[in-house]
Amino acid sequence: MGSEIQLISDGDGLAVIGDPAGVEKFLASAKLPSKALDLSRLSSLLSAGSEAAGAASTLAANSGRWVKLSQESAEKIKAFGLMKGSSSGLNRAVVQASDGKIKSIVEFSSGALANPALLAGVGGVMAQMAMQQAMDEITEYLAIIDAKVDDILRAQKDAVFADMIGVGFALDEAITLRDQVGRVSEVTWSKVQTTSMTVARTQGYALRQLDALAEKLEKKTNVVDRAKVSKEAEAKVIEWLAVLARCVQLQDAFTVLELDRVLDASPAELDKHRLALKDARRKRLGLIAQSTGSLVARLDAAAANANERVLLHPVAAKAVVESRNLVADAVTEFQRRLEVELNSDSVEARRWREAALEARDNVLAVSAEGVDAAKRLGGATVDQAKVMTEKVAARVAERTRRSRTVDEIESERPAIDCTDASP
């Protein structure tokens, strides 16, 4: 390829393939951190023949690096003009570079990696790189929270957890063998091919435990009881998050091994299998995100309820809010490591004085409203009395007028003299 650097993206990472010196200069110029991409196994995907031999030699002469697509690196590679390729889910381009600087962007149309089988193989290796990166981040997460997952699992009485410890040993051993041998043999695969079900059962159990903690908190209507349950839940939530993280890590390890087996046994199905595994992982993480997000939402409701009762239970209300914030922080860090972001702002514990002042203001407001109502009622009563007085006065005046009129008529009527009347 000379100065041509081939770029392939699957949405999670970017493969940079070309002359070793050119690749290094290109990545340095673009300021993209990378890891070595093992291309040695891809030659097994080529059929026999001179064309295949030529592609294999070209492949062997080139270097591959893998870049994790963070938000920052994703913005940078937009300038490279990656185009949708014939291989499902893969975007690609060839960048012509000189001394690590981009001169022009040309269409990906030739070269060893134009071979569909090789492109599918690169996609599979890139998927494995993404899984291994996720596994490393979970290892760091478990170290940071100082969670001894095996100790947590041993404390449980359920047989599933005993099996889970064994699954961890088996998968860790298989990954070690793969790294040293360069492939997953049938013997190695036979030891781990049924482990995925055990991991799935443990994940489901851990999610139910988190749901049970939230439900137990909801059932407590007394703030003091809620404070006690919230405090107990703090450590338990962190423990079950650690178990979930280990489940994701082991499932990713299983996926790495599975892709190797498909690459060996059914290379023509590798691309479809890779996409199916990617979709399955997305759904698993979505379920975990939904469950842990629901836990925080229910704790939010408990904290809001506690803040409303801070006047009667100031210490207990503050404890509920503090527990909520601790759990929310733990969930946020957990989901960040799994790259499933959860936006959760801290809840501020309501101060007793603030609540008391608000309560006083409410009382004064109600009292003032009552006085205003009384004034309104008093004013209405006076007005009504005034109207009634006027009505009564009018009636009295009318009666007086009528009485005076009758007297006047009687006085004006002529008198009859009966003294001179003849017999």
Q: Is 110 in contact with 118 (CB distance < 8 Å)?
A: no
What is the distance between the alpha carbons of residues 234 and 324, in angstroms, rounded to a whole number? 8
Q: Which pLDDT score, from 0 to 100, does residue 169 have?
A: 93
Q: Which pLDDT score, from 0 to 100, does residue 64 have?
A: 86
Q: Is 227 in contact with 302 (CB distance < 8 Å)?
A: no
Which tens digits make up the pLDDT trace of 2-49? 467 888 888 889 888 888 888 888 888 888 889 988 877 776 666 544
The DSSP 8-state label assigned to residue 80 in this structure reads G
Which tens digits make up the pLDDT trace of 344-367? 444 444 443 444 444 444 433 434
Q: Name the helix (H) or strand (E) containing 299.
A: helix 270-308
Q: Which pLDDT score, from 0 to 100, does residue 112 have?
A: 53
Mean pLDDT in the chain?
75
What is the distance between the alpha carbons of residues 75 and 382, in angstroms, rounded to a whole number? 77
Q: Is 260 in contact with 45 (CB distance < 8 Å)?
A: no
Band of residue 253 on the pLDDT scale cut at 50, 70, 90: very high
* Backbone Cα Rg of the chain: 42
The position carrying tokens 């002529």 is 414
The position carrying tokens 């100065």 is 3
What is the distance between the alpha carbons of residues 153 and 372, in angstroms, rounded to a whole number? 66
Rounded to the nearest 5°, which phi and psi values hold at 196? Answer: -60, -35
Q: What angle do CA 146, 150, 154 make, to 5 degrees?
A: 125
Q: Domains (ranges, CATH) in the chain?
A: 4-119 (no CATH), 145-350 (1.20.58)
For residue 91, give the 3-state DSSP assignment. strand
The DSSP 8-state label assigned to residue 369 in this structure reads H
Residues 326-354 have a mean pLDDT of 68
Please report, rounded to a whole number, the percentage of residues in the chain having pLDDT higher than 90. 24
* Res 174 pLDDT > 90: yes
Which tens digits make up the pLDDT trace of 104-156? 454 554 555 667 778 888 889 999 999 999 999 999 988 888 777 877 777 77
Band of residue 284 on the pLDDT scale cut at 50, 70, 90: very high
What is the distance between the alpha carbons of residues 389 and 368, in angstroms, rounded to a whole number? 31
Which tens digits make up the pLDDT trace of 61-109? 677 899 998 877 777 777 766 766 655 678 877 777 665 455 545 455 4
Residues 363-391 have a mean pLDDT of 45
What is the distance between the alpha carbons of residues 232 and 320, in angstroms, rounded to a whole number? 11
What is the distance between the alpha carbons of residues 43 and 232, in angstroms, rounded to a whole number? 56
The residue among 346, 307, 128, 151 whose CA lies nearest residue 239 is: 151
